[in-house]
Every structure is written in C-alpha cells, then in structure tokens.
Amino acid sequence: MADPTQAAASLENLPLFAENGGNGSGDEWGDTHHSLSGPGQTDLRRSLQARLASASAQRGRGSVPSGQHARRADDDLTALERNGGVLRPMSRGGEVDWGLVRAYREQAADQLAHALRSREGLDDAGRRELGRSIVVELLADHAERALTKGLPIITPDEQIQLAEAIMAALFGLGRLQPLVDDPGIENIEINGHDNVHLIYDDGRIVQGPPVADSDEELIETLSFLATRTGTNERPFSPSNPRLHLRLRDGSRLAATAWITPRPVAVIRKHRLTDIGIKELVDLDMLSPAAAAFLASAVRARKSLVVSGAQGAGKTTLVRALTNELDPMERIGTIETEYELHLHDMPDRHKRIVAWEARPGSGERGPDGRAVGEITLDDLVFDSLRMNLSRLIVGEVRGREVLPMFKAMQSGAGSLSTTHAHSARAAIERLVTCAMEAGQHVTESFAYRQIAEHIDLIVQIELVDDSHSGGKRSRYISEIIAIEPGEHGLPAVTDVFQPGPDGRAVPGTPPIWLGDLERVGFNPRLLDHGGVP
C-alpha cells in the first residue's frame, strides 16, 4: 500500500472507474460529509493509471460486466468478500451495503490506529487526511482483487457513495450521520437498533430508520464512538455499561447496554451554540427587561443557577449569558461532557480554559478510584492555579454540586444548571444533590452554601402543546434572588414572577440592585411591566 501520509487521491482516479468518467456527488451525506476529493500525488496517480490499464486488459479477457455478479470459486476470500464483496448496485438515493461499510471501517480503523502510533500530536485535519489515504488505498486494492476473482464492478456514483459511507463510519456517525445532520431534529431516541424515534423542534415525533442491522452491531457502533473521541476516550463494556459522550458536532449521547433488555441511546443536539441574549429575546424565550437584568447580573459577577426540565434550554441560556462577557475575560468551564462549547468560539472568548472530566477504566487503583479517572473536584483544584476571573461548572445532577459550591467560593460570577420544576424546588434539588456526596455533607451545610454563594435561580418552562395542534415553547417563568436568612436558610425574593400567561414579569427588586446599576442596568425596567 502506498504511504498513507501522501495526499489522498481523488476517488475518480480509482482503477476500475476512471475510464467511465463518473463523478458521483454523494449528496446523501449532506453538507457535512467527509469528501475524499483532493490533490493527487503524481506518483500515486501514475500507479492508479497503471492499475487501470491492467483492469482494462482483465475486462478484455472476459471479466464479469459492470453490475453483474459471478460465482466465487476459490476459498481465499477476504473478510470484506465474505461480508458481501462489494456495494450492491444502486441508483441515486439507493441503499448502502452497511455490512460492507462496517468491514471496510474495521480495516481502515486498524490501519489508522497503527499509523497514528508513530504520528503523535497529529491534529483532526491530519487524521482525516490520513484516513482518506487509507480508504482510497483499501478501495483500490479491493477493486483490483475483485476483477481478478470475477466479482462485480460498481459504478462511479456507487464508488463515491461507498467511500463517503466509509468515511462517515470512520470519522462521523455512520448511519446516524444523516439524522444528526438534519437541522429540524432535536433528539434521537434509540431503543434497540430498529426502534428509533426522531423528535423535531416543533414537537413532532416520527419513526426513524434502523441505525444498525442488529442490537449487537448497535453496541459495536457505540463502543467504537466511545473509543474514538480523541484525547478523552470513554469505556463502554459489560463492566462499564453506561456511556455519556460528547459527539464531534457537539451533540450529547447517553447510552446503556447489558443492564437494559436492548441497547438504549439518546442523542440530544445543541442547535443554538453561537448565540447571545438578544437572539433569545427574538425567540420569545424572555422579555427585554429580563434579558437586560440577567446580562447585567452576569457582568456584575452574580452567581446564578438555571433550572428547568430536560430540553428546556438551560445550557443555551447559560451559553448566551456567557457570550455577553468581555471577550478578554479569563474564564474556565468544567463539565462532565463538553456542552457549552465556549472554547469553540474564539471570537467571543479569547482567554478560556475548558476542562472535561474523565470517568476512568473499570479497574480500581490503590486509592479506590477508577484508573485514569479525572473528577470535577480534581479540575476545580487545578483551576485555582489558572489565573481565572470566573469558573463555570456545567450541569449539576448529583454530587457535582460540591465542585459547583467550590467554584462559587473561589470566585464570584459562576453559572451552572440543574433539573427542577420551579425555582424554589431547585433549592431543594441542590440540597439533595449535595447530600448524595456522603454523610460528611449535612443538610444545614448544603442550605448554608446555597444561601451564601448563589445569588439568582432562573427557571425555564418547557410547554408542549404539539399533541393538540399547538407547538413547543420555552420561556423564563421565574427569577428569584437568594440571600442568607435565619438559621442559615436561604431567603428568597421574587425578582421576576409568573405573569398571567406564565411568562416572567418584574416583581420585587433584589437588595443588591445598585450593583447592577453600576454596570449599566436601568432600574426602571423593573417598573411598569418592564418598560422604562
């Protein structure tokens, strides 16, 4: 095989098909497909042309015509041939032979892993270029052997589709890729390989296509994705049956197997990433008065928690609020899986440090921790040496609340999210999460931390009327301010409270309103229904 570090040859130059002049587009993979086209190396092109001449001569001696199948007489078949040989003939929009794609992906992944051992530090672009070269060579080699053995010849369009499918399986999400690329899909629910539901942003729930040929193949795909995350691989096996993973496009995947009757996975897409608070006003998520209040609170270094149901838009609001900060402010983010993606917006955040926890392997070290585990607590400790202006801890679902408290203790202006059905219920939720950390955390300690270190809790409502012909809507319903009260308990002020339609309207100003005025907030926005 030619050196895969050379520039990848265009698929049109593969030996079996160059003389046909085809140029398939592979549009089935959308705008985000991994194209194999590129500038060909002269030596590689000459080698392919020589193979083409050999292939043409083989045809002249009575090889199988294009699109037809021949009997296989020998037993010396490769794994690819035993898996189906080549892509099934198809027209535009036809189905890909995913069994063949999977076999190619396995070979390409093995070769890529071997090649990367001697190329440490290669970036994503370099990995993809290396992968392109490997895929091109695999296809060329197999095509040459197919002619020799009298196997079928596929068309240029089919060749392009096959290569795109292999690249999607190697660097993308394979059969999941078209679903993730669909801008209207918000969540993908998988309950077994052939029981897939797509939840659209307008609330529609549609049966989706199978994402694998079997549950075993689905588990294999999930395991492959878990080990292909780059620097922060995630274990997924019978001894580690739960998987939480950030996909390359920023979507979040949660999966379980071996502890459920069938493998289960949910992919939640983050559709609104590079967004500011004004855009959320345009989307009717909050009023201009509430937007100005929250933006000023963040600039005034008030610490806040955003609460709501799953999919309510909590992370989107935190992302929008942090995008209101000075691009030169030094901030850090700590998450179990990257979701905020502030580090992917260098124009908005020029001095950012983004950490992601690591679960570790199933083995336990002498200290009882999983080998290789990096916890949020570890990351908070490291952050104290990073000259940060503020530290943001992502979603709080359990004992992550303790690192959140530490972040708020170390510096004002932190943000986080949690799940609760009201702003006041969020207080109780955080107390419960804290007490999950062990007997050393008491209820009084948790209440005291909330009272002393959280300034605001913002509640987001998710209302789904799609079942009755309406639509799904998200909006802020409450904003409460918290101060230390009697006996160390939080004292609550309803700064914004639900109006007649459930949306937040101004209530009682917080006692620290002057802090917001110093950063430009107009206090009259809290009078007369939010109109200055």
User: Residue 66's pLDDT band (boundaries 50, 70, 90)?
Assistant: very low
User: Residue 211's pLDDT band (boundaries 50, 70, 90)?
Assistant: very high
Edge-to-edge strand order for the sheet containing 352-356?
352-356, 331-335, 390-393
pLDDT at 93: 45
- Average pLDDT of the chain, as a whole number: 78
User: Residue 524's pLDDT band (boundaries 50, 70, 90)?
Assistant: very high
pLDDT at 529: 56
The tens digit of pLDDT for each residue in 258-294 reads 999 999 999 988 776 788 999 999 999 999 999 999 9
The tens digit of pLDDT for each residue in 97-136 reads 777 888 888 888 888 888 887 777 777 778 788 888 888 8
Q: How large a percentage of the chain has pLDDT more than 70? A: 76
CA atoms within 13 A on the CB side of 421: 0
Domain 178-268 CATH class label: alpha beta
Paired with 352 in beta bridges are 331
User: Residue 402's pLDDT band (boundaries 50, 70, 90)?
Assistant: confident
User: Residue 353's pLDDT band (boundaries 50, 70, 90)?
Assistant: very high
Range 83-105 average pLDDT = 57
**Three-state SS at 531:** coil
By 3-state DSSP, what share of the chain in percent is helix, strand and coil, each rounded to 5?
40, 20, 45
Gap between the Cα atoms of 513 and 422, Å rounded: 23
Of the candidates 420, 426, 418, 423, which has an alpha carbon nearest to the alpha carbon of residue 497? 423
Measured from the Cβ of residue 468, the count of other Cβ atoms closer than 10 Å reads 6
Domain ranges of the chain: 11-171, 178-268, 277-491
Helix axes 314-322, 288-299, angle to 10 degrees: 60
| CA distance to 61, 232, 255, 395, 499, per residue, from 337 (Å) | 58, 10, 14, 9, 36
Alpha-carbon torsion 417, 248, 474, 419, what sign? negative
CA atoms within 13 A on the CB side of 7: 10
Domain 277-491 sits in which CATH superfamily? P-loop containing nucleotide triphosphate hydrolases (3.40.50.300)
Asked if 454 and 444 count as a contact pair (C-beta separation under 8 A), the reply is no
Element (H, E) at 513: helix 513-517
Gap between the Cα atoms of 421 and 426, Å rounded: 7
Lowest mean pLDDT among 53-57, 211-215, 229-233, 522-526: 53-57
pLDDT at 396: 86
The reply to whether the predicted model has a pTM over 0.85 is no
